[in-house]
Structure 1
Amino acid sequence: MVNRVTLTGHLGADPDVKDLSAGVVANCRLATTDYYKDRATGNLKEATEWHRLVFFGRHAEIARDFLAKGSRIYIDGRLRTRKWTSNGLDRYTTEVVVEALEMIGAPRGYAQPEGNPDAGAPPQAGDDEWMRAYDEAEASQVPSK
């Protein structure tokens, strides 16, 4: 059995980060958009889907430190459905538990190049500190045996 989700899209809001006794957790929404041609009119149409993401531990810290509304990211994870009762009714939500995260484009606080909002800012001397911090954070995610 396989439970795998791979998405690329833009964040709809800043991550909501909480420090819990069990560790750090972050939640946010990711928009993915498909483009297609309407057969009847021939016009280009778009369909946007919204996905709930949840980050735990170090991934939540990375989300807090490096992600903001509009950030373009690539994630890999698994689906999880939670159930709770509200006013006597059962409620459900399905979310993606993020297991791998890559930022696409410039991080929070760095300018995007003109004309290409998805491209990252060109590296300049002294501007690689965020990349080093991100790489170190990703390296800390490697499970030890």
Structure 2
Amino acid sequence: MVNRVTLTGHLGADPDVKDLSAGVVANCRLASTDYCKDRTTGNVKEATEWHRLVFFGRHAEIARDFLVKGSRIYIDGRLRTRKWSGNGQDRYTTEIVVESLEMIGAPRGHEQPDRDANAGAPMPSNGDEWVRAYDEAESTQGIVK
């Protein structure tokens, strides 16, 4: 059986990070938008879905340090449904446990370069420090993309 989710989208808020005895946990919501053309009118329709994400360990630390509301990310993970009781009723929530994370665009505190002919070019040198820190964090923690 396969339990795999791959999404790209924008964060709806800054990650909510908690330091627990078992380690760091971060929660946030991701908006993914699908665009399609209405066959009858020819207008482009937009449909946005909201997804609950949960990050554990090193991924939670990266979320805390680098992600903010509006950040565009690409994630890969698995679905998990939790159950709890509240007011005498059973309640459920389905979330995505993030197992792989890629940040798209500029990190926290850096402006996104202007869109131009070099839009696909590497980030300017002011972003190199952030990229290097992220890559080093991945290699020391054994995080596999």
TM-score by length of 1: 0.90
CA contact (8 A) 1:112 1:120 kept: no
CA contact (8 A) 2:52 2:94 kept: yes
**How far off its partner does 1:109 sit?**
0.5
Partners of 2:30 and 2:91 in 1: CA distance: 21
**How far off its partner does 1:142 sit?**
2.1
Partners of 1:91 and 1:139 in 2: CA distance: 39
Matched, 1:96 2:96: yes
Distance 1:120 1:19, change over 3 A: farther
Q: In the alignment, which residue of structure 2 is the partner of 1:22? A: 22
Aligned residues between the structures:
141
Amino acid at match of 2:46: E
Task: State the identity as a percent.
Answer: 80
Could you say which structure has the higher helix fraction? 2
Indicate the RMSD between aligned Cα atoms, in angstroms.
1.9
Structure 2 stretches of 5 or more lacking a match?
Answer: none
Partners of 2:53 and 2:60 in 1: CA distance: 11
**How far off its partner does 1:100 sit?**
0.4
**How far off its partner does 1:101 sit?**
0.3
**How far off its partner does 1:120 sit?**
8.7
Partner deviation per Cα, 1:72-119 (whole Å, 9 max, x = no partner): 101000000000000000000000000000001110100012348x97
Structure 1 stretches of 5 or more lacking a match?
Answer: none
Detail structure 1 runs of 4+ shifted over 3 Å in the superposition: 118-121
Q: In the alignment, which residue of structure 2 is the partner of 1:6? A: 6
